[in-house]
A and B are shown apart, each in its own frame.
Chain A
Amino acid sequence: MSQAPVTSSGPWTLAWRRLKRNRAAIIGLFIVVLMALLAVFGPLLIKLTYGYTYESISGPQFTAPCLAHPFGTDIHGRDLLVRVLHGARVSLAVGLVGAFVSLSFGVIYGMVSGYSGGKVDETMMRFVDILYAMPRLVFVIVLIAALDKSVVRLLDFMHLSDYSGYGRIILLFIGLGIVEWLTMSRIVRGQVLALKERQFVMASRSLGASTPRIIFRHLLPNLVGVVITYMTLTVPVVILEESFLSFLGLGIQAPLSSWGSLIADGASVINPITSYWWILVFPAATMTITLLSLNFLGDGLRDVFDPKSQK
């Protein structure tokens, strides 16, 4: 084994170097960043150049890809390219916020459970086991059915009726995030349990450091790596779950679009008589490439941060 070079670079630089060696992960990162930029600026660019928005009817229905409409048009005559970009916004947002919601619950819960240990830990994890046994997606469906109207009312009440279309998005953020926090809490708890016994923590404790200080100065920084990894891996899961809900008609509501709802529309056009292939292919390809990239990136991050995979 060769001597590791003695440098004064911090743990983040080391992590970055390790990640760089993983080609797939770097390509993944690049694509994800590109997609994010397209999502944020794309629709605006299209509006400036072509004048299309995601809800404007800008051409005859079902036109195949051409110069005026690079991705073709859908059943209403809306340009598909701008709808796919708009879908990128919605899907990535739902994925990110959903993963973030799951992160928040999961991290806090896992930390409390792991750090407390003993009976408290046992009960808390028992509760997670119970929740794990429930068909969580069914509860998201029931949640949406139960709260949909109330969310719209709430938005009205807050004088945000312009955004009532986004009520469903909010429900999705919360619902899907709630579904995913369990895994995060287990991982965080495992990490905390391991970290608890490490020397620097014990040393800190014996010096009389208060619990919040230990948590914030010692535990959290060491959790960041794992949390980022699993968040990157949760985003694709949330995006796929939203697309599943879209198939059922419970996801994003028209005229808004998500990749999932666009793909569901595309799937409904598969028939033996005519071929409107672009309606399915473009959203599906975009979503698949993004999910692939997120997964490769997440795998790479896991190799870097997860202690289990360190040799």
Chain B
Amino acid sequence: MSFRQTTSVNLILKGSGVVFLLFLFGLSSGCFRQKEKADFVFINGVEPESLDPAIITAQADGRIVTSLFEGLTARNEKGEIIPGVAESWEISPDGKTYTFHLRKNAKWSNGDPVKAPDFVYSWKRALLPETASKYSSQLYFIRNAEEFNTGKIKDFSAVGVKAPDDFTLVTELKAPTPFFLDLVAFPTLMPVHQATIEKYGDDWIKPRKMVSNGPYQLQDWRINDRIQIKASPYYWDKNNVKLQVVDILPTSQAGTAFNLFYSGEADLILDRGLVPAMLFGELRKTPFFHSGPILADYFYRFNVTRPPYNDVRVRKAISLAVDKQRIVDKITKAGEPIAYGMVPPGTQNYTSLLKGAYDPDQARKLLAEAGFPGGKGFPRLRLLYNKTELNEQVATELQEMFRNELGIHVELEKQEFKVYLSTMSSLDYDMARSSWIGDYNDANTFLSIFTSNDGNNRTGWKNPTFDALIEAANQEPDTKKREMLFQQAEKILVEDDAVVLPLYYNVAIHFFDPEKVGGVVNNLVDEHPIRFMYKKKK
């Protein structure tokens, strides 16, 4: 080949290479699709697992789903329950029957009206074993729902939800459930569009296919890139929705989240894990740092089947030796309230009576009584936790406390999250770090998990008195009596039997400029519906 020819071949090769690259770039960046500029950008956490209300479990996923769908009730920016699709309701005197009246102007994002049979279909779908909804237990308060979900009953008409007409929904509960209005705001009980699901199957949640009934519609969804939602023109309250186009950015890196906020590319960070923990001290001085308590606790479980932790004196001794204030001041630093019980302050219809103590002397006395004076002869205590910076730091502090006060040698057993879960479930631990976020605003969610047969118990502890108290409380229609029953149960769990060692109640952190962003209010249920957010004009 002559020199001239080689050059032109080279040029052609190079040229086509460039064209190919441009094409690839266009393909990958979605340039081929129209991209709208967003009014508001917020960083939510990691990429959602799904946007199907019936199967999601993560809180971050829930935030997005709450903007796309709406249940019988909804929450405002303060986390309070407000009417949603149901504009009014009646509760029977025995507390077991709820009659919801649906508003006539609630519509799906394709214009279809939202009707009561939609709810019956959706709740059935959530309870069908094939749907494999991980949060189906939220519906178990409805009569026969659990039996249908576990396959004991095959006929859904036995389940306590009926639509006598298009705009009335009647639900029958197993027992008086004062937090039922909380439950119907929860994603698992939100309605889904039957025709769309039947048409597209699992694909129905994709943009341009999804039909939803909430304040926003799904505009675009690119994995690990962004989710864009747009205000729905069919939403009954659309005139009060301020933000028209919202971009939701997933990321797992706190540094990236922080940089995006700091450079002005993002307006709000809602995930506590994405605010760099080591900077808390500095960040708290800025006007961007907003924190507030939420319905969640941080505690350690004891494996009561394993000696010497089967001796209640040992458990009490260990509990009394913990200086919880130090942990909260030195490590977590977000103003967490320390915990002496398992039910966070502010929980509806409940005040914890427990007032534990930090008493190392009493701790040492109890330990000696149990046969380990000064910690002598005590086996190595393994603290199990899933590996995060925070858990490690807390465990390190506990390690020092137990060593100094009780003479117990402690080992830190950190495991990857999935491994830690399986270790805890198989009761292969001494003490395991845990956390529980309330599924609804009531003491029951924090206490019932420790009944003898609950799958979330994971301690090996079985106390029939405790079980009976929880059962009775759930049947009790009188709020005051109910509270007393829960208080007795909590006392058994934390004080008498010392099955758990509560450390503190969690605090949520929100990062935004209050001069620019409004409608984000700290609340106990940590709900921040996008529909109430707005940008302030300078």
Main secondary structure of the interface of B (DSSP, over half): helix
The answer to whether A76 has its CB under 8 Å from any CB of chain B is yes
**Smallest CB-CB A-B distances: 4 pairs:** A272-B262, A75-B278, A274-B282, A273-B282
**Which of B135-143, B305-313, B315-323, B414-422 is the interface stretch?**
B414-422
Chain A CB within 8 A of B151 CB:
no
Does B283 touch A at the CB level, under 8 Å? Answer: yes
CA distance A97 to B110 in the complex (A): 64
Question: 23 A-B Cβ contacts within 8 A?
Answer: A62-B278, A76-B393, A145-B416, A148-B415, A148-B416, A148-B419, A149-B415, A149-B423, A161-B411, A164-B411, A164-B413, A249-B387, A253-B387, A253-B414, A254-B392, A255-B396, A268-B278, A271-B255, A271-B276, A271-B279, A273-B279, A273-B282, A274-B279
Contacting residues, chain B, for A152 (C-beta < 8 A): 413
Name the one of A145, A148, A161, A271 contacting B380, with C-beta atoms under 8 angstroms.
Answer: A161
Residues on A with C-beta less than 8 A from B276 are: 268, 271
Chain A residues with Cβ below 8 Å from B283 are 273
Q: A161-B380, A253-B414 are in contact. Are A272 and B282 (CB under 8 A)?
A: no
A76 CA / B423 CA spacing, docked (Å):
28
Interface residues of A in 59-79 (CB under 8 A from B): 62, 75-76
A97 to B416, CA, bound (A): 25
Q: How far is the CB of A80 from chain B (nearest CB, A)?
A: 14
A149 touches B419 (CB 8 A): yes
Question: In the complex, what distance in Å separates the CA atom of A159 from the CA atom of B262?
Answer: 51
- B interface residues (Cβ-Cβ under 8 A, vs A): 254-255, 258-259, 262, 276, 278-279, 282-283, 380, 387, 392-393, 396, 411, 413-416, 419, 423
A140 and B380 alpha carbons, distance in the complex (Å): 31
Residues of B within 8 Å of A161, CB to CB, are 380, 411
Asked if A269 CB lies within 8 Å of chain B CBs, one says yes
- The docked-state distance in angstroms from the alpha carbon of A148 to that of B393 is 22
- Place the interface of chain A in its size category: 20 to 34
B278 — which chain A residues lie within 8 A by C-beta? 62, 75, 268-269
Closest Cβ–Cβ distance, residue B350 to chain A (whole Å): 37
5 new A-B contacts at CB < 8 Å, known A273-B262, A273-B282? A253-B387, A254-B414, A269-B278, A271-B255, A272-B258
Distance of A310 from chain B, by nearest CB (Å)? 36
How would residues 144 to 159 of chain A score, 1 for a CB under 8 Å from any chain B CB and 0 otherwise?
0100110010000000
Complex CA distance for A271 and B283, rounded to whole angstroms: 12
CA distance A273 to B259 in the complex (A): 10
Q: Which residue of B lies closest to A145 (CB)?
A: B416
| A268–B255 touching, CB < 8 Å | yes
Residues of B contacting A164 in the complex (Cβ-Cβ under 8 angstroms): 411, 413
> A164 to nearest B CB, angstroms?
7
On chain A, the residues within 8 Å of B393 by CB distance are: 76
A131 interfacial by beta-carbon distance below 8 Å: no
CB contacts (< 8 Å) of B413 on chain A: these are 152, 164
- Provide the residues of chain B in CB contact with A274, threshold 8 Å: 279, 282
Q: Which of A187-241 contact B (CB under 8 A)?
A: none
Q: Is the interface of A mostly helix, strand, loop or mixed?
A: loop
Whole-angstrom distance from the CB of A270 to the nearest CB of chain B?
Answer: 7
Kindly state the separation between the CA atoms of A149 and B262 in the bound complex, as whole angstroms.
40
Please give the distance in Å from A71's CB to the nearest CB on chain B.
Answer: 17
Q: Bound complex: CA of A148 vs CA of B396, how far in Å?
A: 21
- How far is it, in angstroms, between the C-alpha of A309 and the C-alpha of B522 when the chains are bound? 69
Chain B hits for A75, CB < 8 A: 278
Given A268-B276, A273-B282, CB of A76 within 8 Å of CB of B415: no
Q: Closest chain B residue to A254 by CB distance?
A: B392
User: Which residues of the other chain, B, contact A254 by a CB distance below 8 angstroms?
Assistant: 392, 414
Q: Which residues from B are CB-within-8-Å of A273?
A: 262, 279, 282-283
List residues of chain A with CB within 8 A of the CB of B258: 271-272
User: Known: A145-B416, A148-B416, A254-B392. Contact between A270 and B282, CB under 8 A?
Assistant: no
A76 to B276, CA, bound (A): 15
Residues of A within 8 A of B415 (CB): 148-149
* Complex: A161 Cα to B396 Cα, angstroms: 18
In the complex, chain A residues whose CB is within 8 Å of the CB of B282: 273-274
Complex formed: what's the CA distance from A249 to B414 in Å? Answer: 12
Which residues of chain A from 254 to 311 have any CB-CB distance to chain B below 8 Å in the complex?
A: 254-255, 268-274
A161 to B283, CA, bound (A): 40
Q: A76-B393, A254-B392 are in contact. Are A270 and B419 (CB under 8 A)?
A: no
**In whole Å, how far is A94's beta carbon from the nearest beta carbon of chain B?**
19
Partner of B396, one of A76, A149, A270, A272: A76
CB distance from A113 to the nearest CB of B (A): 38
Chain A residues near B387 (CB-CB < 8 A): 249, 253
B255 touches A270 (CB 8 A): yes
Task: State in angstroms the CA–CA spacing of A162 and B184 once bound together.
Answer: 51
Q: Give B254's nearest chain A residue, CB to CB.
A: A268
Distance between B85 CB and nearest chain A CB, rounded to angstroms:
43
Within 8 A of B (CB), among A122-172: 145, 148-149, 152, 161, 164
Nearest Cβ on chain B to A53's Cβ, whole angstroms:
14
C-alpha spacing A152/B416, complex, angstroms:
13
Q: Which residues of B contact A270 (CB under 8 A)?
A: 255
* Distance of A111 Cα from B283 Cα, bound (Å): 60
B230 to chain A, nearest CB (A): 32
A255 to B387, CA, bound (A): 12
In the complex, what's the smallest C-beta–C-beta distance from A144 to chain B, in angstroms? 9
Residue of A nearest to B276 (CB): A271
Min CB distance A294 to B, Å, is 30
**Shortest distance from the beta carbon of B133 to any chain A beta carbon, whole Å:** 28
CA distance A76 to B419 in the complex (A): 26
**Complex CA distance for A62 and B278, rounded to whole angstroms:** 10
- Once the chains are docked, how many angstroms separate the CA of A75 from the CA of B387? 17
Question: Which residues does chain A contribute within 8 Å of B414, judged by CB atoms?
Answer: 253-254
Per-residue B-contact encoding for A168-184, CB less than 8 Å = 1, 0 else: 00000000000000000
Closest B residue to A77 by beta carbon equals B330
**A76–B411 alpha-carbon span in the complex (Å):** 18
Measured between beta carbons, the chain B residues less than 8 angstroms from A255 are: 396
Within the complex, what minimum Cβ distance (angstroms) separates A264 from chain B? 12
Identify which of B255, B278, B283, B387 gathers the most chain A CB atoms within 10 Å of its CB. Answer: B278
Task: Tell me how far the C-beta of A215 lies from the nearest C-beta in chain B, rounded to whole angstroms.
Answer: 44
Contacts of A62 in B (CB 8 A): 278
Residues of B within 8 A of A249 (CB): 387
Nearest neighbor of B423 in chain A, beta-carbon distance: A149
Find chain B residues with CB under 8 A from A149 CB: 415, 419, 423
Complex Cα distance A149/B384, Å? 13
Cα-based distance from A269 to B278 in the complex (angstroms): 8
Residues of B within 8 A of A253 (CB): 387, 414
The interface residues of chain B lying within 8 Å CB-to-CB of A145 are 416
